Amino acid sequence: MRKTFFFLIMLTIAANMSAQDFLSNSEISSQWRQKTIAVKNGGQTPDVVTLLKAFHQTLPAWVVGEVLKQADHPARTTRKSGTADIFDAEDDYRILIDRRSGYVDLASETDMSQMEACVWRKDNGHRIFALSLYEQHDPVQNLLCWYDYDPTTQTMKPERSPLDDFKPAVPEAQLGWGLPRKGTDFTVSEYYPGLPAITHVYKWDRKAFKMERTEMPNFEYMPSVGSTHAEAAGHCNHVWSHYALVDLTGEGCPVLLLEEREGGEMSERVMLADFKGKLCIIATQSALGEKMNVYQLPPRKNNKRVAVQHRDMAGGYFYSILTGNNVMFVVSDLPNFSKASDEDTRVVSVEAGFGSDDETTDIIDQIGDWINMPSKLVWHELTITDEEEGI
């Protein structure tokens, strides 16, 4: 009994010591740019697993160790899918190793640590090695490490990635990136509350990465907020070719503008924001000289507010009241065609909202200075993809 107890204690100590040998994302983040890594038996054409092992020997991470165990000793239940070996674990994670395509990952729908790594070949014989680490329970949750492998010295030297030089439209953007499972494209994505993801695609020409295009998935949106707010949502049916993001309230939450052009000139423009969990058009502008009017409002409960004015064909006005990029409620100012006299010829009411105490028709009498939208717009070319995304 004493021998068994002693053996269990030793196992516990060994496990704790082993766990302490692994580095967190925060620790790796503070070290990887300062370390040139020697690659044992790297040679002229090291595969992704060889480079991953070299990284792990210098900066060990638990999730990388799990992938390398599978690479060295594949589980009996490992299956083939094309050129990849895939192991589906009982703990809701998967390990994929594709040496031929130069890609490996550990993916899961749980909150466990995850990773992916890949290799790009360069015309000069060098290779780019990239490693992404994802850890939800660490201050540095997502980390991208980027190296140039020199076959002459058999070393990996830290390099700047496209992510290092990327500047989002709004500084508060959440950024993500993608390593190619197939092909060679590297992607950087911007995420903002209530808006579809904006993905920038970098093409690899065997020398460097060059930003080629910006994509947005085909997303659902409501035709407009106000008199038509109850209409069914539909997918993009315009050829939107450009987009802009504008932080109207200065709180780091932008609204989305899309533009359709004919002959290089704007033919239609819409502004979209989140309303009751759906993306809605809150203002339109055509080439006929219409303006998107945005007005400052007195702050309410320490929140900065703006009113975006939208006009319909019948001469009605709708004011979408925004905090951040959320439409809180809509005030309508409509012609009253049932009145024959000039008195009381308009009907002002709260058209749609959340039923809060903030909803009031007095908002029309509280609008302040007009925000000069054109000076704030920076337009970027855009491609709407066939992939659909619900908002």
pLDDT digits (tens, 9 = 90+) for 163-190: 999 999 888 899 999 999 999 999 999 9
**Shared domain check, 134 and 271:** no
Boundary-marking domain end, from 144, 159, 174: 159
Give the global pTM.
0.86
Percent of the chain with pLDDT over 70: 87
Token readout for 42 is 């790297």
Please give the full DSSP string across 154-197, using - where no structure is assigned: TEEEE---TTTT---SSTT-EEEEE--SSSS-EEEEEE-TTS--
The answer to whether 96 and 136 have CB atoms below 8 angstroms apart is: no
The domain containing residue 55 runs over which residues?
Answer: 23-159
The span from the CA of 101 to the CA of 183, in Å, is 8
Boundary-marking domain end, from 159, 187, 202: 159
- Residue 385 placed within a domain: no
**Shared domain check, 131 and 244:** no
The span from the CA of 169 to the CA of 252, in Å, is 10
- Residue 73 placed within a domain: yes
- How confident is residue 148, by pLDDT bands cut at 50, 70 and 90? very high
**Shared domain check, 236 and 367:** yes
* Beta carbons within 8 Å of 88's beta carbon, 6+ residues apart: 77, 79, 94
**Shared domain check, 256 and 127:** no
What confidence score (pLDDT) does residue 225 get?
66
Number of structural domains, the chain?
2
Taking residue 131's Cβ as centre, other Cβ atoms within 10 Å add up to: 25
**Per-residue pLDDT reduced to its tens digit, 332-365:** 888 887 765 556 678 889 988 888 888 999 888 8
Alpha-carbon distances, residue 207 vs 178, 214, 230 (angstroms): 19, 21, 52
**Shared domain check, 362 and 285:** yes
The answer to whether 363 and 321 have CB atoms below 8 angstroms apart is: yes
